[in-house]
Amino acid sequence: LPGVGKDAVMAEVAHNEAIQQLGGLQGWLQASSDALFRQQLIDLFATHQPSVVQGLENDAKSAIASIKLWLGSHADWLLFIEDASPTSLTVWDVLPTTTQRCGRVLMTSQSQLLTHGGHFAGLNVHHLKPFETAQSIELLRTLKVLDEADLDRSELALFLEERLGNLPLSVAMCGHMARNVEGPNKLEKVIALYSEKDEQELDKVGRD
Protein backbone atom coordinates (compact mmCIF):
# COMPACT_ATOMS: atom_id res chain seq x y z
CA LEU A 1 0.00 0.00 0.00
CA PRO A 2 1.67 3.25 -1.11
CA GLY A 3 1.75 6.48 0.83
CA VAL A 4 1.02 5.14 4.33
CA GLY A 5 4.43 5.93 5.80
CA LYS A 6 6.11 2.53 5.86
CA ASP A 7 9.50 3.86 4.81
CA ALA A 8 9.17 6.88 7.11
CA VAL A 9 8.68 4.54 10.08
CA MET A 10 11.63 2.41 8.99
CA ALA A 11 13.78 5.56 8.67
CA GLU A 12 12.87 6.53 12.24
CA VAL A 13 14.01 3.10 13.42
CA ALA A 14 17.23 3.35 11.41
CA HIS A 15 18.11 6.70 13.01
CA ASN A 16 17.11 5.66 16.52
CA GLU A 17 20.00 6.12 18.95
CA ALA A 18 19.65 2.60 20.33
CA ILE A 19 19.90 1.15 16.82
CA GLN A 20 22.93 3.29 16.01
CA GLN A 21 24.64 2.03 19.16
CA LEU A 22 24.31 -1.58 18.03
CA GLY A 23 27.24 -1.03 15.72
CA GLY A 24 28.20 -3.64 13.16
CA LEU A 25 27.33 -3.42 9.49
CA GLN A 26 24.18 -1.39 8.82
CA GLY A 27 22.80 -0.33 5.47
CA TRP A 28 19.67 0.90 3.67
CA LEU A 29 18.92 -0.94 0.43
CA GLN A 30 16.21 -0.52 -2.18
CA ALA A 31 14.59 -3.68 -3.52
CA SER A 32 12.19 -2.09 -6.02
CA SER A 33 14.58 -3.38 -8.67
CA ASP A 34 16.54 -6.59 -8.24
CA ALA A 35 19.47 -5.13 -10.19
CA LEU A 36 19.46 -2.01 -7.99
CA PHE A 37 19.40 -4.11 -4.82
CA ARG A 38 22.34 -6.22 -6.01
CA GLN A 39 24.41 -3.17 -6.87
CA GLN A 40 23.64 -1.35 -3.61
CA LEU A 41 24.44 -4.48 -1.60
CA ILE A 42 27.79 -4.89 -3.37
CA ASP A 43 28.54 -1.18 -2.91
CA LEU A 44 27.70 -1.43 0.81
CA PHE A 45 30.23 -4.22 1.28
CA ALA A 46 32.81 -2.55 -0.94
CA THR A 47 32.65 0.44 1.42
CA HIS A 48 32.32 -1.20 4.83
CA GLN A 49 33.55 -4.78 4.39
CA PRO A 50 35.83 -4.53 1.34
CA SER A 51 37.58 -7.84 1.96
CA VAL A 52 34.31 -9.69 1.27
CA VAL A 53 34.13 -8.49 -2.35
CA GLN A 54 37.80 -7.84 -3.00
CA GLY A 55 38.79 -8.86 -6.51
CA LEU A 56 35.15 -9.39 -7.51
CA GLU A 57 34.49 -5.90 -8.85
CA ASN A 58 33.62 -7.27 -12.30
CA ASP A 59 31.85 -10.43 -11.14
CA ALA A 60 28.54 -9.52 -9.50
CA LYS A 61 27.41 -13.14 -9.21
CA SER A 62 30.50 -14.16 -7.24
CA ALA A 63 30.33 -10.98 -5.15
CA ILE A 64 26.74 -11.77 -4.13
CA ALA A 65 27.73 -15.35 -3.30
CA SER A 66 30.57 -14.07 -1.09
CA ILE A 67 28.24 -11.61 0.64
CA LYS A 68 25.73 -14.40 1.26
CA LEU A 69 28.42 -16.47 2.97
CA TRP A 70 29.45 -13.50 5.13
CA LEU A 71 25.86 -12.73 6.18
CA GLY A 72 25.36 -16.37 7.09
CA SER A 73 28.41 -16.49 9.34
CA HIS A 74 28.11 -13.14 11.14
CA ALA A 75 25.50 -11.80 13.53
CA ASP A 76 26.55 -8.14 13.81
CA TRP A 77 24.60 -6.71 10.88
CA LEU A 78 21.29 -4.98 10.24
CA LEU A 79 19.81 -4.33 6.82
CA PHE A 80 16.93 -1.97 6.10
CA ILE A 81 15.32 -3.16 2.87
CA GLU A 82 12.84 -0.84 1.18
CA ASP A 83 10.05 -1.97 -1.12
CA ALA A 84 10.70 -5.71 -1.24
CA SER A 85 8.42 -7.87 -3.34
CA PRO A 86 7.97 -11.50 -4.37
CA THR A 87 10.14 -10.72 -7.40
CA SER A 88 13.06 -9.43 -5.29
CA LEU A 89 14.95 -12.64 -6.02
CA THR A 90 18.33 -11.56 -4.68
CA VAL A 91 16.76 -10.52 -1.37
CA TRP A 92 15.32 -13.97 -0.77
CA ASP A 93 18.47 -15.70 -2.01
CA VAL A 94 20.97 -13.74 0.08
CA LEU A 95 19.20 -13.75 3.47
CA PRO A 96 20.47 -16.51 5.78
CA THR A 97 18.12 -19.12 7.18
CA THR A 98 17.52 -19.58 10.91
CA THR A 99 19.86 -22.58 10.98
CA GLN A 100 22.75 -20.16 10.57
CA ARG A 101 24.12 -17.32 12.67
CA CYS A 102 22.53 -14.22 11.30
CA GLY A 103 21.82 -10.57 11.85
CA ARG A 104 18.54 -8.73 11.46
CA VAL A 105 16.46 -7.32 8.64
CA LEU A 106 13.70 -4.71 8.68
CA MET A 107 11.86 -4.50 5.40
CA THR A 108 8.91 -2.70 3.87
CA SER A 109 6.75 -3.87 1.02
CA GLN A 110 3.61 -2.99 -0.89
CA SER A 111 2.89 -6.72 -1.11
CA GLN A 112 1.46 -9.14 1.44
CA LEU A 113 4.78 -10.95 1.52
CA LEU A 114 3.70 -13.53 4.06
CA THR A 115 1.23 -14.93 1.54
CA HIS A 116 4.25 -15.98 -0.53
CA GLY A 117 5.39 -18.62 1.93
CA GLY A 118 8.16 -19.98 -0.25
CA HIS A 119 10.19 -16.82 0.16
CA PHE A 120 10.27 -17.23 3.93
CA ALA A 121 11.25 -20.88 4.18
CA GLY A 122 13.75 -21.16 7.01
CA LEU A 123 13.59 -17.48 7.97
CA ASN A 124 12.57 -16.36 11.44
CA VAL A 125 9.93 -13.77 10.55
CA HIS A 126 8.23 -11.37 12.95
CA HIS A 127 5.28 -9.36 11.69
CA LEU A 128 2.44 -7.23 12.99
CA LYS A 129 -0.82 -9.10 13.06
CA PRO A 130 -3.87 -7.40 11.53
CA PHE A 131 -6.32 -5.65 13.83
CA GLU A 132 -9.87 -6.74 14.30
CA THR A 133 -12.12 -4.23 12.54
CA ALA A 134 -13.36 -2.94 15.91
CA GLN A 135 -9.76 -2.23 16.92
CA SER A 136 -9.15 -0.30 13.69
CA ILE A 137 -12.24 1.82 14.29
CA GLU A 138 -11.19 2.48 17.89
CA LEU A 139 -7.76 3.64 16.71
CA LEU A 140 -9.37 6.07 14.26
CA ARG A 141 -11.62 7.30 17.03
CA THR A 142 -8.57 7.84 19.26
CA LEU A 143 -6.99 9.91 16.47
CA LYS A 144 -10.17 12.05 16.48
CA VAL A 145 -10.99 11.59 12.81
CA LEU A 146 -14.24 9.67 13.26
CA ASP A 147 -16.32 12.20 15.17
CA GLU A 148 -16.50 14.64 12.28
CA ALA A 149 -16.75 12.09 9.46
CA ASP A 150 -20.22 11.43 8.11
CA LEU A 151 -19.48 7.83 7.18
CA ASP A 152 -21.63 4.75 6.97
CA ARG A 153 -19.97 2.36 9.43
CA SER A 154 -20.56 -0.66 7.20
CA GLU A 155 -18.73 1.13 4.37
CA LEU A 156 -15.93 2.07 6.77
CA ALA A 157 -15.61 -1.54 7.92
CA LEU A 158 -15.44 -2.70 4.30
CA PHE A 159 -12.71 -0.14 3.56
CA LEU A 160 -10.68 -1.17 6.61
CA GLU A 161 -10.98 -4.87 5.83
CA GLU A 162 -10.56 -4.91 2.04
CA ARG A 163 -8.43 -1.84 1.25
CA LEU A 164 -6.22 -1.63 4.34
CA GLY A 165 -6.41 -5.25 5.44
CA ASN A 166 -6.79 -3.92 9.00
CA LEU A 167 -2.99 -3.65 9.06
CA PRO A 168 -2.00 -1.56 12.11
CA LEU A 169 0.44 0.73 10.31
CA SER A 170 -1.92 1.26 7.38
CA VAL A 171 -4.82 2.15 9.66
CA ALA A 172 -2.64 4.46 11.78
CA MET A 173 -1.23 6.29 8.79
CA CYS A 174 -4.67 6.60 7.20
CA GLY A 175 -5.81 8.28 10.41
CA HIS A 176 -2.81 10.59 10.52
CA MET A 177 -3.34 11.56 6.88
CA ALA A 178 -6.95 12.36 7.67
CA ARG A 179 -5.78 14.72 10.41
CA ASN A 180 -3.69 16.59 7.81
CA VAL A 181 -6.65 17.18 5.51
CA GLU A 182 -8.28 20.60 5.75
CA GLY A 183 -11.98 21.09 6.27
CA PRO A 184 -14.71 18.73 7.45
CA ASN A 185 -15.10 15.01 6.69
CA LYS A 186 -11.35 14.44 6.75
CA LEU A 187 -11.46 10.64 6.87
CA GLU A 188 -14.06 10.51 4.13
CA LYS A 189 -11.78 12.53 1.84
CA VAL A 190 -8.79 10.26 2.51
CA ILE A 191 -10.90 7.17 1.81
CA ALA A 192 -11.92 8.75 -1.49
CA LEU A 193 -8.24 9.12 -2.42
CA TYR A 194 -7.64 5.44 -1.70
CA SER A 195 -10.71 4.49 -3.73
CA GLU A 196 -9.46 6.54 -6.66
CA LYS A 197 -6.01 4.95 -6.26
CA ASP A 198 -4.50 8.43 -6.41
CA GLU A 199 -1.08 7.22 -5.25
CA GLN A 200 0.67 10.54 -5.95
CA GLU A 201 -1.83 12.48 -3.86
CA LEU A 202 -1.73 9.84 -1.11
CA ASP A 203 2.04 10.07 -0.95
CA LYS A 204 1.84 13.88 -0.77
CA VAL A 205 -0.72 13.80 2.07
CA GLY A 206 1.29 11.12 3.88
CA ARG A 207 4.41 13.30 3.89
CA ASP A 208 2.71 16.46 5.17
At a CB cut-off of 8 Å and minimum separation 6, what does 113 contact?
Answer: 84, 85, 86, 107, 119, 120
Residue 73 predicted with pLDDT over 50: yes
**pLDDT value at position 141?**
85
Gyration radius (Cα) of the chain, Å: 20
Sign of the four-CA dihedral 18, 20, 21, 23: positive
- How many Å apart are CA 74 and CA 183, to the nearest integer? 53
Predicted TM-score (pTM) of this structure: 0.63
Q: What value does the mean pLDDT take over residues 4-29?
A: 82
Give ∠ CA 86-89-94 in degrees, rounded to 5: 120
